[in-house]
Chain A
Amino acid sequence: MAEHISENHDEHSHHTEGEHHIVSIPLYLMVFAVLVVGTILTYFTAQWDLDWIFPGANTLLALLIAFTKMMFVILFFMHVKYSSKLIWLTAIAGFFWLAIMFAFTMQDYLTRSAGVFTR
Chain B
Amino acid sequence: MIWNEEYETLPREEIRVLQLSRLQAIIERVYTLVPYYRAKMDEVGVKPSHIKALQNIRLLPFTTKEDLRKNYPFGLFTVPMDQVVRVHASSGTTGQPTVVGYTKRDIRTWAELMARTLTAAGARKGDIIHNAYGYGLFTGGLGAHYGAENLGATVVPISGGNSKRQITIMRDFGSTVLLSTPSYALNLADTMVEMGVDPKSLALHTGVFGAEPWSENMRLEIQKKLNIKAIDIYGLSEIIGPGVASECAAAQSGLHIFEDHFLPEIVHPETFEPLAPGEKGELVFTTLTKEAFPVIRYRTKDFSRLRYEPCVCGRTCVRMEKVTGRSDDMLIIRGVNVFPSQVEHVLVSIEGVEPHYMIVVDREGTLDTLEIQVEVSEHIFSDEVKQLETLGKKIRADIKDLLGVSCTVKLVEPKTIKRSEGKAQRVIDKRKI
Instruction: Answer yes or no: are A and B bound together in one complex.
Output: no
